[in-house]
Amino acid sequence: MLRPTSDEDVELFKRLCEDDRLEDQTCRPVKDGKVIRGEDYRESWTYCRADAAEPAGWVIVFDFNPRNRSAEFGYGVAPELRGQGIGHQMLTTFFTRTFTDTDLNKLYCSTAAFNTPSVRLLNGLGLSRDGVLRAHHERDGELHDTFIYSLLRAEFLPGNT
């Protein structure tokens, strides 16, 4: 049987877990015995080609986890510029800057399995497909898989761990 959790249940769970380290229960950052969420902090970057004043694409970084030294990223390329290698240039620049200027060890992202250009880009950049979230992305009333990709500092900057 499942029932809604009550305040008394929460207190019982706290007592039962008193001897457990919170760091053993979660991979999220922990401070003063509480989980810290990183979803409120975001950085965004605009990518411009050297030969054009208009932005060609963007990268956003979010869900920073200082404990694991990881962050999630998303990206996009202006529709009229797709298929010209802009995404490859932009993400290579982003990875270089991130792994050179920060202590992050891992960047990760997700993309819909049906987004063939994005899948091809991430594979071409050497990211590892870490997993599949099955039937996770709704599009036009149908559910599609989502792929999870990651890149480690050592994979991008060999010799730098």
What is the sign, positive or negative, of the torsion defined by CA atoms of 134, 136, 140, 141?
positive
- pLDDT, the chain, mean: 87
Percent above pLDDT 90 for the chain = 55
Residue 103, pLDDT above cutoff 80: yes
* Token pair belonging to 29: 């950052």
Q: Which of 128, 135, 89 lies closest to 114, judged by CA?
A: 135
Distance CA 121, CA 86 (A): 10
Rounded to two decimals, the pTM is 0.81
Confidence grade of residue 69 (pLDDT, cut at 50, 70, 90): very high
pLDDT of 161 reads 45
Q: How many CB atoms lie within 10 A of CB 88?
A: 14
Higher local confidence (pLDDT), 6 or 101: 101
With cut-offs at 50, 70 and 90, classify the pLDDT of residue 126.
Answer: very high
Could you tell me which residues come within 8 angstroms of residue 134 by beta carbon, excluding any fewer than 6 positions away? 145
Q: Is the pLDDT of residue 158 over 70?
A: no
Percent of the chain with pLDDT over 70: 84
Angle between helices 86-101 and 116-124 (to 10 degrees): 50
Domain boundaries, the chain: 8-37, 39-156
* Mean pLDDT computed over 62-67: 89
Confidence check: pLDDT of 37 > 90: no
Closest CA to 146 of 121, 112, 109: 112
Q: Tell me what the mean pLDDT of segment 83-97 comes to.
A: 95
CA–CA separation, 130 vs 126, rounded Å? 12
What residues contact 70, with CB distance under 8 A and at least 6 apart?
64, 104, 105, 106, 107, 108
**Residue 93 pLDDT > 60, yes or no?**
yes
Q: Which residue has the higher pLDDT, 27 or 80?
A: 80
CATH code for 39-156?
A: 3.40.630.30
